[in-house]
Amino acid sequence: MATQATQATQATDSGGTSGTATAQVPQRRRAGLTQERSRDTRRRLVRTAMRLWTERGFETGIEDTTVDEIVQAAGVTKGTFYFHFAHKEEILLELGYQTASLLSEEAARCLSAGNSIADSLRTVTNTLAASVEATPPAAVGRAMSEFYRPRRPGDEPPATQPSFAQALEMLFTRARAEGEVTDQVEPPEMAQIIEALYLASLMEWSQGRLKNLREALQRRIAIVLAGLRCGSAF
């Protein structure tokens, strides 16, 4: 009797656990779909705002375009807009976050492929240049200005947002472990050096002081990398 009761209890427990696990699968799927829809909505708001600002000219388009116009053109509610962005200028920052995400994905692919630091930086830099060159220079300039603007309390970007330096740090961490770069500089500092070079070059390009962004970035990266090679004097 005791054995039968124990077996019955075990069967009930097993069934309950299995049922719970089975129930969690649709929940996870729904959560994933919700997140994807949220990302799609965010991208749609960015694309819509960019289109309106481009049509009206970035010099005055950002100031003249209202949130009401953006949400109407995007086909979403005003509440949806403010769920994603505190104000319309944050859309400019989103351009940078999206580009940083592309760089992070490209860096991860380079690591998986076992590429050298030189090849990895060349690939990541080309990705950056292609993304930026597809954006109106005036938009890049305004985004850079927004990036450098002192943040208001409560207006700091979420910690989950990627940065150029985070993508680059992955590459330099592996490169130092492989002996491709000096061990006298920490990977985060190496990444920050390249990030600063990226940002300065983007600002020059947005102001028309740099004609070929891709070539300039590759040339400047090569110079910095030569200084980070093992055996370099510091």
140-146 long-range contacts (CB < 8 A, ≥24 apart) are 140/95, 140/202, 140/205, 140/206, 141/58, 141/203, 141/206, 141/207, 142/58, 142/62, 142/92, 143/92, 143/93, 143/95, 143/96, 144/199, 144/202, 144/203, 144/206, 146/89, 146/90, 146/92, 146/93
The string of pLDDT tens digits covering residues 155-186 is 655 556 678 999 999 999 999 999 999 999 99
Residues 80 and 189 in one domain: no
Domain end call among 60, 86, 112: 86
In a domain, 29, yes or no: yes
Q: Is the pLDDT of residue 113 over 70?
A: yes
pLDDT tens readout for residues 118-146: 999 999 999 999 999 988 898 898 888 88
The one-letter amino acid code at 42 reads R
pTM of the model: 0.75
Q: Looking at the structure, tell me whether residues 172 and 188 fall in a common domain.
A: yes
Output the pLDDT for position 149. Answer: 76
Range of the domain at 38: 14-86
Query: What pLDDT is attached to residue 112?
Result: 97
List, for residues 35-93, the tens digit of each pLDDT value: 677 788 988 999 999 899 888 887 788 888 999 999 999 999 999 999 988 888 888 88
Asked whether residue 233 is assigned to any structural domain, the reply reads no
Boundary (domain end) residue, out of 86, 107, 134: 86
The answer on 122 and 94 residing in a single domain is yes
Query: Are 222 and 141 part of one and the same domain?
Result: yes
Shared domain for 98 and 157, answered yes or no, is: yes
Look at phi and psi of residue 161 and say left if phi exceeds 0, alpha if psi is from -120 to 50, else beta: beta
Could you say which of 47, 70, 86 is where a domain stops?
Answer: 86
Q: Residue 218 corresponds to which tokens in the numbers above? A: 């590759």
Number of domains observed in the structure of the chain: 2
